[in-house]
Amino acid sequence: MIDQLYRKAVLTVSGQKFVEDLVRSRAWSVAQRFVAGEDAASALQAVRELEGDGILGNLDLLGEFVASPEKANEFAEKVLSLLDQANAAGIPPYVSIKLSSVGQGQTVNGEDLGLTNARRIVGRAKQYGGFVCLDMEDHPRVDITLAQFRTLVNEFGNGSVGTVLQSYLYRSEADLAALQDLHPNLRIVKGAYLEPESVAMPDKADVDASYRRLVYAQMKAGNYVNVATHDESIIEDVKHFVLAHGISRDMFEFQMLYGIRRDLQKELAQQGYRVRAYIPYGRDWYAYFSRRIAERPANVMFVLRGMLKG
d(CA 186, CA 175): 11
Please identify which of the residues 141, 187, 276, 291 carries the catalytic annotation. Answer: 187
Does 187 qualify as catalytic in the annotation? yes
Count of CA atoms in the C-beta half-sphere (13 A) of 118: 34
Give Dmax (Cα) for the chain.
Answer: 53
The catalytic residue among 60, 112, 135, 138 is: 135
Closest residue by Cα to residue 199 from 221, 178, 168: 168
> Does 175 participate in catalysis according to the annotation?
no
Contact 154, 184 (CB under 8 A): no
Q: CB of 108 within 8 A of CB of 69? A: yes
Task: State the catalytic residues.
Answer: 135, 187
